[in-house]
Every structure is written in C-alpha cells, then in structure tokens.
Amino acid sequence: MRIKIGSVRHVPERLGKTVAIQNTKIALFRTTDGRVYAIENRCPHKGGDLSQGILCEEFVYCPYHDWKISVKDGIVQAPDQRCVKTFPVEIENGTIYIQFDELGESQ
C-alpha cells in the first residue's frame, strides 16, 4: 500500500528521521542531491537506531558499532554481512510517499 509520509522539507539532509507505519519503525534519509530513502530503523547487528546514524553519500553508519549500510538497497557493507529492509519512495510535489508492505524489499 502507498502511504503518505509528509513533506520532503521535514527530512533534514544527511540526518535521519523516524516514522512509524503499523508496527514498523522506518528511517528516512535525504541525500544532499535531494533523493529520499526509507529503510527499516533497526541495524541487523544489535538493533541500533539507524535514524541516529550519520549519512555519508548513500551509506548510513550505525551509531552503535559503525556498521556501514546502503540506504539504496539495505545491504551491509563488507566485512560485515546481512541486510536491512528497504521501502520504495516516491516524491510528488514535495510530498513523500512510501510503498509499504509488511515484508519490505529486503535484498
């Protein structure tokens, strides 16, 4: 289902913002070039709050143990392994929409 989240301007560049859909917490990230990504707000390592991490290009760094995770596809970068669920994002007239199903699009 397609869920309206809010305005792009409420998502700061390079910082995370948390939203909740049903029982799933999602971290939104906006890159410096204006793209918005949505990933599950939980590091697969120890459950860290990814929205509190730092975004560098297309990667968020978990604030607890510095795991490097792609916000594009949810893949944790080597030498670590695993992935985080991702959710397709659409932006229309400055409004963010997430395509949400309970499974997400984990890689």
Residue pLDDT, tens place only, 23-70: 899 999 999 989 999 999 998 887 889 999 999 999 999 988 888 999
Start-to-end CA span in the chain (Å): 19
Q: What is the CATH number of domain 2-99?
A: 2.102.10.10
Q: Which residue has the tokens 């080597």?
A: 78
Domains of the chain, by residue range, sit at: 2-99
Banded model confidence at residue 102, pLDDT cuts 50, 70, 90 = low
DSSP collapsed to 3 states, 41-82: CCCCCCCCCHHHCEEECCEEECCCCCCEEECCCCEECCCCCC
Banded model confidence at residue 105, pLDDT cuts 50, 70, 90 = very low
Which pLDDT score, from 0 to 100, does residue 103 have?
52
